[in-house]
Structure 1
Amino acid sequence: MKNDVTKVVVTIAAIVLALGFYFVLLGQRGLDLIREGGVAPIGLGIGVLLLPVLGVWIVVVTLRAGFQHQHLAQRIADEGLELDVSELPRRPSGRIDRDAADQLFAQVKSEWEADPDNWRNSYRLARAYDYAGDRGRARDTMRRAVALEQAERERG
């Protein structure tokens, strides 16, 4: 398990370093275009300078969300509340069978409906959405779980 985590961290670090290098090169090219002068090069230079800014923002937001989700996953695991999908039937691709995922989702959704302001239920619902293949709702529900968990920590 620890070896898997190390591989993931090293991979993420390598990607972030490569992106950082790319952003620096892109920023330098943007500045070169601005130094050339003229309407078109300056306009292009400004546009090119915006790309690394946007890229850094995306990297920061993505890493932040990943750390928040991992924090919740660890708390859920420590509390023994992670969804057990080990016995669910799988497709050849490894994904959970659609009918089984839908049944799991229905069960978890009823738990969530009983207490929607509990971050644990929102976390479990987000995971159930993901297993059912609804990534958009999974992300939205995970954001809700993160916000609820942060509010719980702030209350003490």
Structure 2
Amino acid sequence: MRAKITYAVTAAVLVVYFVLAGDRGVMLIQQGTALTITFGVSVLVMPLIGSWFLWANTRFVTKANRLARLLEAEGGLPVDELRRDEYGRIDRDSADEVFARRKAETEDAPGDWRCWFRLAVAYRDARDTPRARKAMQRAIALQEGRTPMA
């Protein structure tokens, strides 16, 4: 719940920033000189890129949460099996064992979104965000009936 509140507050702050920056960009364009128009257009580009990025991430998180709810309803959510030391760091041998099981599960059923979801969770638990995101994107695509990107 704390993560959802943090995300919502951050998104709201970004939207306010995008509106303020967009307003400044429009003001610069309205000045009408070549220099202010150039600056105004470049100031407008940043909120557009930021808005797209915020929308894409919100959409990704929403879809991943939907998959988690579906898997929870089926009783298939993965259990955190990773051993940790007294500081909370993941034991590397434990992580290797879990990854080996999750990868084998995924290789045995490459078209099953549930396997990819569990693999994504294992990557996230090990703080391997790029691989976690790719595995989750594949799970989302498979669950939606789309062909996942390689």
Q: Structure 2 length as normaliser, TM-score?
A: 0.87
| CA deviation map 1:46-84 (0-9, x unaligned) | 000111111111111111100111111112222222221
Taking a change above 3 Å as real, the CA distance of residues 47 and 10 of structure 1, as seen in their structure-2 partners, is same
Structure 1 residue ranges, 4+ long, deviating more than 6 angstroms after superposition: none
CA distance in 2 between partners of 1:98 and 1:53 (Å): 41
**Residue 22 of structure 1 aligns with which residue?**
17
CA distance in 1 between partners of 2:133 and 2:96 (Å): 18
**Residue 66 of structure 2 aligns with which residue?**
71
Q: Secondary structure in 2 aligned to 1:151? A: coil
**Residue 53 of structure 2 aligns with which residue?**
58
Structure 1 unaligned runs (5+)? none
Q: How many pairs were matched up?
A: 146
CA distance in 1 between partners of 2:50 and 2:85 (Å): 36
Taking a change above 3 Å as real, the CA distance of residues 134 and 68 of structure 1, as seen in their structure-2 partners, is same
Taking a change above 3 Å as real, the CA distance of residues 150 and 133 of structure 1, as seen in their structure-2 partners, is same
CA distance in 2 between partners of 1:84 and 1:8 (Å): 20
Q: CA RMSD in A?
A: 1.8
Once the two structures are TM-superposed, the CA of residue 11 in structure 1 deviates from its matched residue by 3.1
State the identity as a percent.
40
